[in-house]
Structures are given as C-alpha cells and as structure tokens.
C-alpha cells in the first residue's frame, strides 16, 4: 500500500464527522481507487446501499487494507480537533428533536402549541428559517427534517443492484471443482475445502433469501421485515464473493490471499515463522503484557456484545503467544 493512499484514507477516516450517508459515499469512492482492494469489495460496496452495518464494514476493510490502526485514527482525530475552528462544521439536530420527529404526525399538531414551537426549535438548532409562518409552510419545513426510511421499491432496487454485481458463475450456480481444478490436487490447502463448503452454503442461502426478499416486497410487508431478510441476503452475497476472490487468487498465483477469516490462523502462523529470535523474544514480551492487561479489563466487563468482541481480541493475543512460544522452543 502506497504511503500516499494510506494517508488519504486515514484523513478520510479521521475527518470531521459528516452525515453517515455522505461519509459512506466518500469512503466507497476512495476504496474504488485503491489497487489493493479486491474486485468483490469494490463491487459490493459500490452497489450496496448505505446502512450502519455497511459503513462499519467499509471502515474496517479500509483500515485493514491500508494497515491503519484505531490508534492512528484517534491520534489524527485529536489533532483535527485543534483545528476545528477552521472547519465547516456540519450542524445536526439534537437527538431529542430527532426522536420527536420520528413520532410526530404533522397534520394532527396544534398550530400554536405544537407546530410553531417545533419549527422554532429546528430553526434555532440549524440556523434556517421556514418560508413563512403559514401552517402549510411550517408543515413542509418540518417534514423536510423527518427521518425517512427507504420505500419498499427503493429497497428492492438497491438490493437487486447489489446482488446483480455477483460474478456470472455465482449467479448461475457453482460447479466449483470445474472452476477451480486445483481443489483436486493433493497439495491443496485444507482450508480451501472448508471454504468451498461455505461457498456452496452461502450461494444456496443467497438464492433462497433473494426469493424470500422478492416475495416480501411484493406482499407489501413492513420495511423492518424486509431489512431482516435483506441484511442476511447481502451478508451471504458478500461471503460468496469473498470466497470467490480467495479461490481465484490461489488459482492464478498459487498463494493464499488470506483476507477470509478462515485463513487467519494460517496467516498468523506464517507471520510468526517469518520472525527471527530477537523479534520473537520482543513479541513474546509484548504479548504477555497485552494479555495481562486485557485479561484484567475483560474480567471486569459486563456480559454482552462488547465483552464478546473484546474477548475475541484477547483470544487472538493468546493464540499468537502460543505460536511464538512454540516457535522459540523449536529454534532454541
């Protein structure tokens, strides 16, 4: 990864907060410029609609691709705060007004006691004024700030575009061993056999989910129900593309790409094996320190998603330490 590209991505990640959709769009455009991004990443994020989950995944993929740590982002964010006076600050509505707007029925509001005060609150928060104080203009003014979910038609279109970005062999069905003959070789890494199983399952789930999504849209069910299925469909779609990238890369280069989680252990082992004695000893000391520190923090955390995520990180340190210990013992 070129230093210039890394710095550009880092600046975007640490830039002054924008509306989430605008941030997502800007990061997607940057991803498309990066040579290291896989074709499936570019296709998926370019075709997929914004969602908090997609934004989080995009930021994670960009950081991983460019070798950017959370610490680097936080450091630059802190530096940017020193220059905040020079920035064009994007003002957002206070959360209490946003929540009020989500529940309001404008036509039922009392003009004097509810409609005018609400319009005034928005004006004071954002520094903008309605066209006039007429009821029809106040309603139009307030309505422009009410958060709106995409329509069923918009949802259907967005997910159809995302899914249609799949390679032809994914859309038409998979004859995996014909597509990737190396799977029949005796020296084929075992992980690829597991990966192909996941690929088939993801394809089947994607196909079934797509039909279910289509039926839901036609039935006119709520957006919440559509989201529940659509998110799973997109996840299976992306998993299929990730598997496809791994298989294609190995077939062309006889080297593991290593972006899929199934190769995490193998890639970690290779990284440890590449270290010399001095580096291994230093890494061993650091890992023991990290584990001691994080274990104490982990034990104090309440059960929940945050603790589970933190526990995964802690286990990664432990797995690496086991490899480092074994490597040092072997070469001593």
CA distance 245 to 197: 15
Q: What would the pLDDT profile of 46-103 be if each residue is shown by its tens digit?
A: 766 666 667 777 888 888 888 888 778 877 766 655 443 333 334 567 878 888 887 8
Which residues of the chain fall below pLDDT 70?
1-2, 16-20, 40, 47-53, 77-92, 147-175, 200-207, 209-210, 213, 216-217, 221-240
Alpha helices in the chain (DSSP H): 3-14, 20-33, 39-47, 52-66, 70-81, 95-103, 116-126, 135-143, 152-164, 168-172, 176-179, 190-219, 223-253, 264-273, 277-300, 305-331
- pLDDT at res. 108: 86
**Residue 10, Cα to own-chain centre: how many angstroms?**
16
**Of 35, 32, 29, nearest in space to 2 by CA:** 35
- pLDDT at res. 153: 52
Domain extents in the chain: 3-86, 95-143, 152-259, 275-331
Tokens in use for 126?
Answer: 């954002």
3-state secondary structure 84-150: HHHCCCCCCCCHHHHHHHHHCCHHHCCHHHHHHHHHHHHHHHHCCCCCCCCHHHHHHHHHCCCCCCC
Rounded to 5 degrees, φ, ψ at 168 are: -60, -40
- pLDDT at res. 231: 66
């Amino acid at each position: 990864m070129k230093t210039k590209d890394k710095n550009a991505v880092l600046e975007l990640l640490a830039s002054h907060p924008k509306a989430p959709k605008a941030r997502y769009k800007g990061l997607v455009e940057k991803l498309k410029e990066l040579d290291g991004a896989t074709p499936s990443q570019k296709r998926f994020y370019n075709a997929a609609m914004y969602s908090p989950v997609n934004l989080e995944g995009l930021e994670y993929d960009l950081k991983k691709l460019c070798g950017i740590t959370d610490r680097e982002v936080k450091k630059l964010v802190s530096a940017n705060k020193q220059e905040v006076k020079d920035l064009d600050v994007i003002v957002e509505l206070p959360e209490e007004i946003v929540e009020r707007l989500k529940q309001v029925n404008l036509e039922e509001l009392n003009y004097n006691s509810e409609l005018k005060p609400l319009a005034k609150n928005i004006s004071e928060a954002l520094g903008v004024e309605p066209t006039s104080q007429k009821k029809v203009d106040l309603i139009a003014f307030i309505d422009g700030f009410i958060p709106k979910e995409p329509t069923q038609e918009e949802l259907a279109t967005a997910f159809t575009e995302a899914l249609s970005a799949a390679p032809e062999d994914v859309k038409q069905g998979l004859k995996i061993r014909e597509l990737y003959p190396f799977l029949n070789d005796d020296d084929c890494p075992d992980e690829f056999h597991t990966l192909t199983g996941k690929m088939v399952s993801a394809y089947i789930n994607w196909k079934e989910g797509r039909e279910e999504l289509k039926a839901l849209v036609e039935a006119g069910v709520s957006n919440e129900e559509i989201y529940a299925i659509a998110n799973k469909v997109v996840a299976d779609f992306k998993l299929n593309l990730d598997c496809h990238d791994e298989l294609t890369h190995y077939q062309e280069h006889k080297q593991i790409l290593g972006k899929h989680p199934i190769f995490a252990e193998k890639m970690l082992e290779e990284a440890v094996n590449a270290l010399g004695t001095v580096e291994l000893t230093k890494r061993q000391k650091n890992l023991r320190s990290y584990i001691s520190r994080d274990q104490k923090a982990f034990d104090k955390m309440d059960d929940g998603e945050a603790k589970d995520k933190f526990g995964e990180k802690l286990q990664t340190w432990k797995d690496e330490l086991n490899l480092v210990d074994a490597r040092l013992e072997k070469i001593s």
